[in-house]
Amino acid sequence: MAVGLDLTGKTALITGGARGIGAEMVRLFTQAGARVAFNYRQARERADALVSESGGTEAERAVAIEQELSSPAEGRELVQKAAAALGRLDILVVNHGIWPPDDAPIAQMDEAQWRRTMAVNLDSVFGLVQAAVAQMERQGRTAPDGLAGHIVLISSTAGQRGEAYHADYAVTKGALISLTKSLSSELAPKGIQVNCVAPGWVETEMSAGTLNDPIRGPKAKALIPVGRAATPREIAGPVLFLCTPLAGFISGEVVNVNGGAVLVG
């Protein structure tokens, strides 16, 4: 008998779901049977297309929510909207984030860039997690697996080894790893499992400028033992797994999905 990754009956909020890794997560989670809400900021047409592709709002398979994420209040607001649209919230995947593409030496980095990166990549996460945990605790351990919920934070290899000229981004991704461990210690006894996925280079619009550059692209790929960047689906897959009963004894873990580029453990 085949073993499936089944999320039938589950609801999920995936941030940054209109494009790239987030859009692939929406596809994979809905294919696994979950009902999914995701936010977008400007990509309205892409969001609508993804909703239609995933089953449309009539079947409540996927719901797109226009929502900026740059403060704790906006994070809490998105959770409230998602819970209202889905009726409950079983899974939170924090996938959104910004990576300023231009190199910025720390001695010259603009304070506005630093604050913007912190606001989007970290401040909003506080609000998202805070509201999601409160929602899951109100619902209680109603799932068949005896859990109250799952939270998966998306970090990066930059959060593990740092990234020169992108200290603002690396700081936020390192903080998510620390947050994962702190939340796991606090929430696992309450039935909320918190884990982290740390991707390396992925073929997305955000990384295209580097990966497609004739000089920087080959240098980046040379550091990946498997010899290439990941596809978005290769990141979405491990995230899905962490939200299934097959991962029922995994909590506080950082899953490295980087083609062997960074070995931690």
State the pLDDT confidence band at 62, using cuts at 50, 70 and 90: very high
Please tell me the pTM assigned to this model: 0.93
pLDDT tens per residue, range 203-238? 877 777 777 788 888 888 888 899 898 899 999 999
Average predicted confidence (pLDDT) for the chain? 92
Residues 26-51 have a mean pLDDT of 92
Give the integer Cα–Cα distance in Å for 255 and 235. Answer: 10
* pLDDT at position 118: 98
* pLDDT at position 56: 60
* Backbone angles phi and psi of 60, in degrees to 5: 55, 30
Question: Residue 264: is its pLDDT beyond 80?
Answer: no
Given the residues 29, 99, 169, 201, select the one marked as catalytic: 169
CATH, residue 215: 3.40.50.720
Q: Are 29 and 36 in contact, with CB atoms under 8 Å apart?
A: yes
**Proportion of the chain above pLDDT 70, given as a percent:** 97
* pLDDT at position 58: 47
Look at residue 177 and tell me if it is in a domain: yes
Look at residue 263 and tell me if it is in a domain: no
* pLDDT at position 59: 56
Supply the range of the domain harboring residue 34.
Answer: 11-257
pLDDT tens per residue, range 100-137? 888 999 999 999 999 999 999 999 999 999 999 999 99
The encoded tokens of residue 111 equal 């304070």
Q: CB neighbours of 91 closer than 8 A, spacing ≥ 6?
A: 7, 10, 11, 12, 13, 29, 34, 149, 150, 151, 152, 243
- 3-state SS of the chain is CCCCCCCCCCEEEECCCCCHHHHHHHHHHHHCCCEEEEEECCCHHHHHHHHHHHCCCCCCCEEEEECCCCCHHHHHHHHHHHHHHHCCCCEEEECCCCCCCCCCCCCCCCHHHHHHHHHHHHHHHHHHHHHHHHHHHHHCCCCCCCCCEEEEEECCCHHHHCCCCCHHHHHHHHHHHHHHHHHHHHHHHHCEEEEEEEECCECCHHHHHHHCCCCHHHHHHHCCCCCCCECHHHHHHHHHHHCCHHHCCCCCCEEEECCCCCCCC
Of residues 44 and 142, more confidently modeled: 44
State the pLDDT confidence band at 241, using cuts at 50, 70 and 90: very high
Question: Which of 49, 73, 190, 194 has its CA nearest to residue 128?
Answer: 73
Look at residue 188 and tell me if it is in a domain: yes
Question: Residue 54: is its pLDDT beyond 50?
Answer: yes
* pLDDT at position 57: 52
Look at residue 171 and tell me if it is in a domain: yes
Look at residue 4 and tell me if it is in a domain: no
* pLDDT at position 60: 73
Residues 145-173 have a mean pLDDT of 94
Look at residue 262 and tell me if it is in a domain: no
State the pLDDT confidence band at 42, using cuts at 50, 70 and 90: confident
| Cβ atoms within 10 Å of 167's Cβ, excluding its own | 17
Look at residue 132 and tell me if it is in a domain: yes
Which range has the top average pLDDT, 3-17, 168-182, 218-232?
A: 168-182
Q: Are 220 and 201 in contact, with CB atoms under 8 Å apart?
A: yes
* pLDDT at position 211: 75
State the pLDDT confidence band at 1, using cuts at 50, 70 and 90: low
User: How many Å is the Cα radius of gyration of the chain?
Assistant: 18
The number of distinct structural domains making up the chain is 1
Q: Is 169 a catalytic residue?
A: yes
pLDDT tens per residue, range 73-106? 999 999 999 999 999 999 999 999 998 888 999 9
Look at residue 85 and tell me if it is in a domain: yes
